[in-house]
Amino acid sequence: MIVPSPAAVRQAGVVVASEGAALLVVAVVLVVRHLFGTTDPVWLSGYGTAAWFVIMGSAVLAAGWALWTGRRWGRGIAVFANLLLLPVAYYMTIGSGQWGYGVPVAVVAVIALALLFSRSTLEWVAQYGVDDASSDNSGPDTR
């Protein structure tokens, strides 16, 4: 069911889709580096890591598209992805000292989460009502 989404949801969709696109760009960079003979550490396979970034980037990009078009399912993926970005940003800044990378990642994740948990977004999600299949219903699911 598609319910018209508020501006905060569409803005979150843009941020999340941009994150997904960035992951796909990283995948392309990894493949190009590997094709031109860059030697990677043993733990980093150029093609394997690129495949992981393609899978994750595609999911995050799809979540951004879903939010932009008013589909509720994109919110869960977007929240999960941005919650995972916070410890990544922490590691980049505190653990690795890469403040130039870690701070922007943290800022983008916090912006996305703020949009995904804004009042208008929560009201939009609440418009869907309670699902018939709940723990309060002891009978079989007959949908």
Q: Model confidence over 12-67: pLDDT tens digits? A: 999 999 999 999 999 999 888 888 877 766 556 778 889 999 999 999 999 999 99
State mean pLDDT over 107-122: 96
Please give the structure tokens belonging to residue 112.
């996305």
- The number of angstroms, rounded, from the C-alpha of 112 to the middle of its chain's C-alpha atoms is 9
**Neighbour-count burial for 74-86, b at 16+ CB within 10 Å, e otherwise:** bbebbbebbeebe
Q: What is the pTM of this model?
A: 0.82
User: Could you tell me which of 124, 131, 89, 88 has the C-alpha nearest to residue 13?
Assistant: 124
pLDDT value of position 30: 87
Domain residues of the chain, as ranges?
7-121
pLDDT value of position 85: 95
- The number of angstroms, rounded, from the C-alpha of 85 to the middle of its chain's C-alpha atoms is 9
The amino acid sitting at 106 is A
CA 80 – CA 142 distance, rounded (Å): 30
pLDDT value of position 108: 97
Of 54-63, 108-117, 131-140, least confident by mean pLDDT is 131-140
DSSP state of 92: I
35 three-state secondary structure:
helix
Q: Is the pLDDT of residue 5 over 90?
A: no
